Structures are given as C-alpha cells and as structure tokens.
Structure 1
Amino acid sequence: MQSLVATSLAIPSCVKATALGLEGATPASERVTVGHIGVGGRGRDLLRGFMTCPGAQPVAVADAYRDRREAMAEMIEGKAYGDFRELLAREDIDAVVIATPDHWHVPIAIMAAKAGKHAYVEKPLGLTVEQDLLCRKVFRETGRVFQYGTQQRSMAHGRFGCELVRSGKIGELKRIEVIAPDGGAGGSTEPAPVPPELDYEMWIGPAPMKPYTVSRCNPPGTYWIYDFSIGFLAGWGAHPLDIMIWGCDADLAGPMTFEGTGEIPKEGLYDTVIHWDVTVQMGNGVVMTFKPGSDSTKFIGTEGWVDVRRAGIDAEPKSLLKLELGPNDVHLTRSPRHDQNFIEAIKSGGKAIAPIDEAVRSDIISHMCDIAIRTGRKITWDPKKEEIVGDPEAAKMLSRPMRPPWKLEV
C-alpha cells in the first residue's frame, strides 16, 4: 500500500542521482540494479531510499501514470516504462521494488520471480489467500530473494521486543492484542473523464473494470476499495501482525478460529471492512484480539507484557526494557535499514529479514478476519493443511477471478 507515514529520507524530488554522487559510491560490478514498479506515494519514497542505499542502483521505473514515471526516471537518469513487463524483460535488471496498488502486488511479483528478478514487495501481499500461496510457491521454486515491506522489522526496538517474547522474558504467552489504524467510508461514485496521463486499462489490470471516478485511483481509494484490497485489515494490519508472528509462532500451533464483527460502508465508493473487532483462538490456547486504533502489538504473558509500537516499545516490568539478552536467549536478525537488508541478501544469497513464508502467515490472518466478518460466521483455519475447515462457502472466498487476459502464471 501507499503508506500514510512520511519517509524519513529528505531527498527533494528534483535532485538527480549524479548530484548525490551515487554513481561512484560502489563499483559498478558490485551494484544491484533495481527497477521500480509503481512510483506514486510510497513507491516514490522507496525509490528515494534506494538512491541512497549502499550497493543499489535504480535504473528504471514503470507506472501507469506518465507524469510520475517520467519525473522519477529523470531523477534516477534511467528509463521510464508504461508497461512493467518491458521493465521485467530487461536482462540487466537484478531486482524490482513493487509499490503498486495492492491488487497488482502478487501478479507482478510472480512475473518478476519467473523473469529471474529478486523482489521487494510492499504490504499487503495478496488480494486473496490463493495469491499468497502461489506467490510463495514461485519464490521457493525460483530461489529469488523476497523482501516484504514490513519495515518495522528493521527497527531495533521492534526486534528487541520480539526477542524478549521469544526468549521467555514475559513468561508463558497467554494473549496478544493487535491494533491497526481503521479504514473509512466515502469516495465519489460519479463517473469522470480519465486523466490523459493515466493508462487506466493498465492501472485496473486484473481487477474488474469499472468507470473511472476521481476517488478510484487515488488514496485512500487505492486501498479502501474491495476490488483492489481488503482495506486496512491487511494494508496497515500487515505491520502489527508481522510483529506478532516475528515474536511468536502461535499461529502455527494448530487450527485456529476467527470470530468477530465489522462494518462495510453502504454508501460511497469505499467498501472494505472498517470498525472491526475480531478474536482469534490459537491452537495452543493463546488468544489474539485485533481492533482498530493506532499501531501496536502487545504480548501478554504470565510474568509481564511487552508492547511494540512503530514509535517505540513499552513493557511491564519496566526492567525488561533495560535487559541485556544472553548468549542462550533468542537473537533475531539485525537490519540497519530495510532496503539495505534486501540488497545484502541478494549479494549473499541468503534470506531477507522479512521473507515470503512469514509474509504469507501474517497476510492469511488478515484474510481470515475479513472472511469471518463478511460471512458473519466463526471461521476455522488449519495452518498445516492451509485450508478453511468445514465451511465450503467460506472456502470459496480464498480466491477471486482475474479479469482476462491477466492470470497468475506459476
């Protein structure tokens, strides 16, 4: 999704790569060449970040908006493409950064991996569980590096909080409280002329073709319209849910149930779930709640709690915050910055800090919450068989048709 949080990098949009001195920072033979697909909002922020990332060299951009792609291509002194497939066909590009609207994330990621490219994919992952599982299958088979855009893994306090939980410093884990920002209602349904700079056919891609409106292809419509997304259950929920699975494996313990409520706006263009309240019973007895609010993952154990937020960490007892973990405790991967970790993984042939398997785990939780709310029923998910148990109608919601000629090629 296009994040609502401003980037920490303050690079003016008019500054070119040569002006930053990037062309001499790393020998050309050691640089990872990067193509950026989707350069509006979050995609533009990521591009600016990769311009300062050691060992990375952005060389091309693709976007359905002509003005965006041309401006960003000029900034990196690279090539602009209206069709991302032309970018993927370039043999001189090692990796891609995918920051398109949500419904394009997995189709492009799969095509990228099959074209031999490593991929940094913004959250959320798939439009459906089927897409999640197919994406994982392709990246496993191709051996390409996958980095999920859950940047909180590259924040030291996020890592430390999860290490405390995995090291047993709060005792036996009993409860997890997850909070993510809420979605909203509204959005114009009035048909309007397609802007001349937009290739609307390409922007819509595999989603159902609908008349253009001023709200459809711009935030928040890009992540609050069900044709393109399941809303902030996944679009923002990906962050705290990712911390949840980094801090424990409760979601893998056995079949888990999802039960809750939420609202689907009946007026306006936006129709993803808002005001949700979901309870998840994990296979090991741990209970997780998921509600709207700020951005927080609170692990509650028999001997204390740890609350990891984007802006910091809190705990009880407070002494946990000053604890130095020993050699026998759990130590998770350290990452100085998310983009750099991706580049280093490509060079070393290892895994990135937010790999595909864990991206799938957190995204499935979002989808199960959405399905439980939309059906109004308790949903049981078996993480071993990776299927909904005992509800054939709900199981149909694990996939959606794609508008021809687009399809998932695996």
Structure 2
Amino acid sequence: MKSNTTRRDFLKTGSALAVGASAPYVITSSALGDRQKPPASDRITVGHIGVGSRGRSILNQVRRVQDAQIVAVSDCYRDRRESIAKVIRGEAYQDFRDLLARDDIDAVVIATPDHWHVPIAIMAAQAGKSAYVEKPLGLSLEQTLACEKTFAEHGVVFQYGTQQRSTAHCHHGCELVRRGAIGKVHTIEVDCPNGGEGGTPTPSPIPDGLDYDMWLGPAPQTPYTVDRCKPPGSYWIYDQSIGYLGGWGAHPLDIMVWGSDADLSGLIEVEGNGEIPTDGLYDCVFNWDMKIKLGDVKMTFRPGADRTKFIGEEGWIEVCRSKDRTAASDPVLLATKLDTEDTQLLVSNHHQGNFIQAVKEKDPTAAVSNMSDAARSDTISHLCDIAVRTGEKIVWDPTKKQLVAPSERAKAMLSREMRGPWTL
C-alpha cells in the first residue's frame, strides 16, 4: 500500500488518536492484574478491525486469552464500533489507519470483508504489528504473494483464520498422514460448501452510520444495495471476493496443505468448470468441479461437506471439520496414540491463544496457521477461479510462484485493479 502505509500518512488522519491521547491515565485493578490475568505490562495489546458477526466471535475468543488486552476496535459501522468499544472499555475508530498508528498496539485482528484482508494486513505489517487475518487471503494472486513478501520482510507474526488447525482431531488426522500411516498419498479429495446466485442489484439509501466509501475501499465504486454489505453478498460478489472457492475452500484446502506437501511436489495443473451467475448481484463461481494435479498426486475440488480425504497406497483418512464425521479406512488408525516427541506439526488447542503466544515470543514460526501455508492454500483457490473463468488448463510453478506459459487472459487475472488511493 504505497500511499497509505507510512507512519506519517497514518498520523495525518489521527484526530481520534489525539482525543485518546489527551484522556487522563487511570490505573485500574484490571491493569494491575490478578491470579487469572497478568499485569498490563505483560499483556499483548490488540486492536480489532472489523467487528461484524465473525469479528465479534473472534473478539470474544481473544478476550478469553490471559495474555491479551483488547484496547481498540475499528469498523465502518458506527453502532458496531461504539457498542464493542464500551464492552472492552477501549477506543473506537472509524478509520482503521488511526488504530494502526497507535504505538501501544502490538497486534491486530482483521475480520473485514474479503477485499480488505490483504490491504490492511500489509499496512499492519508495515506498521510493525502482527496480524490475525480471516480467510480468504488475497483478492488476487498478486495480493496473496505481496502479503507473503511483506510479512517475511517485516518479521511480524501472521496467523490465518483457519481455526481447524487448533482442533485435536484435525491435527491427529494430518499427523497420521504425514507419518505415513496410509502409505504414499496418491489422491486427495477436497469438498466445501457451495456458493450461490441471487441478491438484489437495486440501489438503496446508505444506512445512517455506515462509512460506505471506506467499506468499499479498494473495490470498484458501486451503488449501495441491501445485499452487498452483508453475508452472503459480502462473500459472493466478485468485486469483493472470489466466493466460496476461497472463502470456505480455505478450510479444507488448508487441511490439504497441513497434511501433505503434495502442492510443493511439482507443477500444479488445474482445469475444470463451474457456473457464474448472470442475473442478480452475486457473480462468483459456484457449482464448480475441479480436477487438479499436484505433481504426481491427483486431486479433486468440489462443492459438498467440509472435508479433506487423503487416499494412500495403504488406506485413507478423511479429515472433517466435525470430529464425528472424521473417518479412516481402518477405524483403528484414528485411535492410534502418537508419540508427542515425534510431532511433525505444531500443536494448538486455542487458535487465538496460539496467535497471542507467538506474538509474545516474537516468533512467526510459532503460529500454527502461518503465512506460507496460507499463501499455498489461497493459491489453489485462485488457480481454480482463473481456470473456470478462462476455460483453460492453468499450470502453476510453486517454486517460482508463477504461471507457466499463461494466455494473456490468464495473465491478466493475476491482479485486480484497486480503486484509488489504495494501491499495493
């Protein structure tokens, strides 16, 4: 974000900061800490950007983390930010840049609509703040790779909102696959919930208290409609998202990455088909049917339940969001107790708690859903979107991180134009 990321630019919009800075400092009993909560000086201070339904859910989880102290929120909806600010006894900001300009905030949680994830995450990293970022990652492959590069350069912690990595049964299933419990994996099946069509394109008055221009941000200037700024519209409109290919596909695709490095084993070839609505507001790919090659591993990606099935030469393991649906060719496999000293994957029992601990340790490698893995799964989502929209077989080199012999149309889809003044 060239024109919007410097401390100088942040401080230009810091009127709200000035108000907060002029308030008298009062030492409260909670600041001193107690047996359950460490003193304020030992806590990681957190700001939340986006406090809609999903954002509030994450905020409530962070509030349960002993070493975390939420001090500020930002949202384009006035009633959201003000009501949550009262709950946390912190500051409310209309412009997230004012929150990022605060030197007393260590980390941020980004739970905005999809099109804002990477721009804000990049600005956070440039401001020296670690970031917990909801899925999906980028609105384009260019955004995803730019985000990965920025976090590597600044050395701050990144945690992806793929919380299944912090569930015991998902960890167990992926550990078994990595330890060779089903032999060499030759096929992977990935399913996730479908997208859809509909939504009214009829313009409506902008609700009182909504900063719609900021809500759109880098997305194209379009009239406000009642279905644009709320789910499923905020997930299924192509100006703002790639639909559930990424928005929900991030979960089972992330499990695919966690349980296997097949996507790093050779060229990735993606082809398939899907539907793109032509009526109504929603215009992201749905009813997709993707056939993928990850080196010599075959993979399918289709709508369905949230699951990732690894099929090997000696059996199969299916890892699902629901523990009750997780299964194996031999049920005894799932009852296998693993030697914790030989654990290949990080262990986390609380996704937000793991993030806070990684920030406290200043160790990006301690985050269970790291930046590199997030970019890998997000790349698959984008390759599928490009394949459906171009009708072509798309080939990706995971080492060089670039398309192989792309057509002009495929090459053009690597990036998205951003509405000024926002830029990568």
The question of a shared fold, defined as TM-score above 0.5 by the shorter chain, is answered with yes
- Equivalent residue in structure 1 for 2:276, among 255, 261, 264: 264
Instruction: Establish whether residue 324 from structure 1 lines up as the match of residue 337 from structure 2.
Output: yes
1:248 Cα deviation (Å)? 0.5
Give the match for residue 96 of structure 1.
108
1:322 Cα deviation (Å)? 1.3
Give the match for residue 127 of structure 1.
139
Matched letter for residue 79 of structure 2? D
Cα pair 2:32 2:40 within 8 Å, conserved: no
Instruction: Establish whether residue 242 from structure 1 lines up as the match of residue 254 from structure 2.
Output: yes
Matched letter for residue 375 of structure 1? T
1:345 Cα deviation (Å)? 0.5
- Determine the C-alpha separation between the residues in 2 that align with 1:395 and 1:383: 16
- Equivalent residue in structure 1 for 2:197, among 174, 185, 193: 185
Give the match for residue 147 of structure 1.
159
Say if 1:35 and 1:92 are closer, same or farther in 2 by CA, change over 3 A. same
Give the match for residue 289 of structure 1.
300
Secondary structure of the corresponding residue to residue 234 of structure 1: helix
Secondary structure of the corresponding residue to residue 402 of structure 1: coil
1:22 Cα deviation (Å)? 11
1:395 Cα deviation (Å)? 1.6
Give the match for residue 397 of structure 1.
413
- Determine the C-alpha separation between the residues in 2 that align with 1:391 and 1:327: 45
Cα pair 2:31 2:40 within 8 Å, conserved: no
Say if 1:327 and 1:155 are closer, same or farther in 2 by CA, change over 3 A. closer
Give the match for residue 8 of structure 1.
none
Give the match for residue 308 of structure 1.
319
Cα pair 2:31 2:39 within 8 Å, conserved: no
Q: Which structure 1 residue ranges, 5 or more long, are not aligned?
A: 1-17
- Determine the C-alpha separation between the residues in 2 that align with 1:175 and 1:22: 55
Say if 1:327 and 1:346 are closer, same or farther in 2 by CA, change over 3 A. closer
Matched letter for residue 292 of structure 1? P
Say if 1:293 and 1:38 are closer, same or farther in 2 by CA, change over 3 A. same
- Equivalent residue in structure 1 for 2:93, among 67, 70, 81: 81
- Determine the C-alpha separation between the residues in 1 that align with 2:328 and 2:204: 51
Give the match for residue 59 of structure 1.
71
- Determine the C-alpha separation between the residues in 2 that align with 1:22 and 1:28: 6
- Determine the C-alpha separation between the residues in 1 that align with 2:317 and 2:132: 29
1:330 Cα deviation (Å)? 4.5
1:325 Cα deviation (Å)? 2.5
- Equivalent residue in structure 2 for 1:279, among 284, 288, 291: 291
Give the match for residue 407 of structure 1.
423
Give the match for residue 109 of structure 1.
121
- Equivalent residue in structure 2 for 1:171, among 177, 183, 194: 183
Secondary structure of the corresponding residue to residue 291 of structure 2: strand
Q: Deviations over 1:364-383 (max 9, x none)?
A: 00000000000111111111
Matched letter for residue 256 of structure 1? I
Say if 1:234 and 1:344 are closer, same or farther in 2 by CA, change over 3 A. same
Root-mean-square deviation (Å): 1.6
Aligned residues: 390
Give the match for residue 199 of structure 1.
211
- Equivalent residue in structure 2 for 1:336, among 349, 353, 365: 349
- Determine the C-alpha separation between the residues in 2 that align with 1:20 and 1:169: 49
Matched letter for residue 103 of structure 1? H
Cα pair 2:204 2:224 within 8 Å, conserved: yes
Stretch moving more, 203-212 or 22-31: 22-31
Stretch moving more, 155-164 or 311-320: 311-320
Cα pair 2:32 2:39 within 8 Å, conserved: no
Stretch moving more, 346-355 or 53-62: 346-355
TM-score by length of 2: 0.90
Secondary structure of the corresponding residue to residue 83 of structure 2: helix
